[in-house]
Amino acid sequence: MMRRVYLDNNATTPLAPEVFEAMKPYLAEDYGNASSIHWFGQRAKAAIENAREELAHLIHARPAEIVFTSGGTESDNAAIFGIVEAAKRPSKHVVTSNIEHHAVLYASRELEKRGVRVTYIRAGADGVVDPADLERAIEPDTVLITVMHANNELGTIQPLEEIGLMARERDIYFHSDAVQSVGKIPVDVEELGVDLLSLSAHKLNGPKGVGALYVRKGTILKPLLYGGHHERDRRPGTENTAGIVGLGRASALAREGIAEEGARVGVLRDELERAILERVPLSAVNGDRARRLPTTTNIRFDHIEGEGFVIALDLKGVACSTGAACSSGSVEVSHVLSGIGLTPAQARSSIRFSLGRNNTPADVAATLDVLPEVVERLRAVSPHYKSAVASG
């Protein structure tokens, strides 16, 4: 069988075996409804509260500030619509960036349809938002600033501390989509100065379909859904006990080794990147290489068509991506890459390699064994490449 290398951890991560073990009882014998007062219910309730503590600990929040959701997308929507709908103002304005995940971007576009003004500030060519641009965008009726922590395509880390201070001075709520950073780099809701923060279990070796929204104590939020009194009236519906337990265990795992694991995976990423740049002519890294997650590199290979490259690498056993998983299969160019000033051709020739807990030096070696020749082969049949080479 062909050796398979998975370098698409920003799309999703494998479930850690420890997380799977922790979840099992709640898919089998511990099936109680956490709202029930009997023994079965109380066991589920205790497991959920334990998970809440583990997650709170990971992001330096209080357990009562954690709301479990169905994932990152729901958390983003709950934060954005929740704040805007609760704000009692005759006119409302929101500030965000042009490199947000679709869960924030499309929620913002929906706000515009509902009559809310939204300013999308442009990230720099380095893939980082300038707080000064953000400050200039603030208006007297700004009710929310939402800027992501780590970008899912580039890995670039946004200056949340500065934005947080700015928001606090002006009494504006501040939300951050931290789906890509939680569990990979230290995330402290106090240091970052956020009022709301979204995360998702399947991006930190937990299960799919569960996540959380951190909501600072005292934040006035209108819920998305109506029903029972679960999650302190913030999110009704019988809890996904096994999923929540999985998120709790994944949080504890991430916290235990965050510095060591970040350093380990950073070495692998750096070696992969260095060797690619050295061995493949006309390749370059997109975005800032310093202010970045240790897991991610986004590289453009001039005169290569990204989709074809992903397929060719997949045939050689290497899984990577052209960017956001949700836009794979579509011909649209990445709004993140065009948002930082890449031409459509450059954006289409860009590939994201995202590493995680499961990757080893052997994975990097196996990728480097096949990648340069795949690029060469694709360029050999590229009319653009031929004419570019011919014209010198």
Ligand X SMILES: *Cc1c(COP(=O)(O)O)cnc(C)c1O
List of residues contacting ligand X (CB under 6 A): 71-73, 76, 101, 103, 148, 152, 177, 179-180, 200, 202-203, 211
Among candidate residues 46, 125, 326, 362, the one labeled active-site is 326
CA distances from 370 to 23, 154, 205, 308 (A): 38, 23, 27, 15
Question: How many alpha carbons fall within 13 Å on the CB side of residue 275?
Answer: 16
Q: How far apart are CA 281 and CA 93, in angstroms?
A: 46
Give me the residues paired with residue 68 across strands: 212
Give the length of the chain.
392
Closest approach of ligand X to the CB of residue 42, in Å: 29
Closest CB to ligand X among residues 293, 312: 293
Q: Which residue has the tokens 């099936």?
A: 31
Cβ atoms of 143 and 93 within 8 Å: the answer is yes
> Active-site residue 320, yes or no?
no
CB of 71 to ligand X, least distance (A): 3
Q: How far is the CB of 327 from ligand X (least distance, A)?
A: 12
Phi, psi at residue 164, to the nearest 5°? -60, -45
Whether 68 and 235 have beta carbons less than 8 Å apart is answered as yes
> How far apart are CB 70 and ligand X at their closest, in Å?
8
Retrieve residue 71's tokens: 């994932």
290: DSSP letter: S
- Residue 303 phi/psi, 5-degree rounding, is 70, 25
Tokens 């992001």 correspond to 59
CB 321 within 8 A of CB 351: yes
Distances (CA, A) of 202 to 217, 250, 300, 324, 380: 26, 9, 27, 15, 39
- 355 burial class (0-12, 13-18, 19+ CB within 10 angstroms)? buried
CB closer to ligand X out of 203 and 303:
203
Which region, left, alpha or beta, applies to residue 301 given φ > 0 means left and ψ of -120 to 50 means alpha?
beta
State the nearest-atom distance from the C-beta of 292 to ligand X, in Å.
14
Closest distance to ligand X from the beta carbon of 116 (Å): 21
Angstrom distance (rounded) from CA 370 to CA 320: 13
Nearer to ligand X, 179 or 299 (CB): 179
Closer to ligand X at the Cβ: 180 or 251?
180
Nearest one of 257, 200, 204, 207 to 73, comparing CA atoms: 200
Instruction: Name the nearest CA neighbour of 298 among 238, 383, 355, 239.
Output: 355
Least distance (Å) from ligand X to the CB of residue 382? 31
C-alpha 257/C-alpha 268 separation (Å) is 16
- In the bound complex, which residue of the shown chain has the CB atom lying closest to ligand X? 72
Nearer to ligand X, 76 or 261 (CB): 76
Instruction: Please report where in the chains the tokens 């399947």 appear, as a residue.
Output: 202
Our CB check for ligand X shows the closer of 152 and 359 to be 152
Q: Which is nearer to ligand X, 200 or 349 (CB)?
A: 200
Pick between residue 71 and residue 287 the one whose CB is nearest to ligand X.
71
CB of 240 to ligand X, least distance (A): 12
Kindly list the catalytic residues.
326
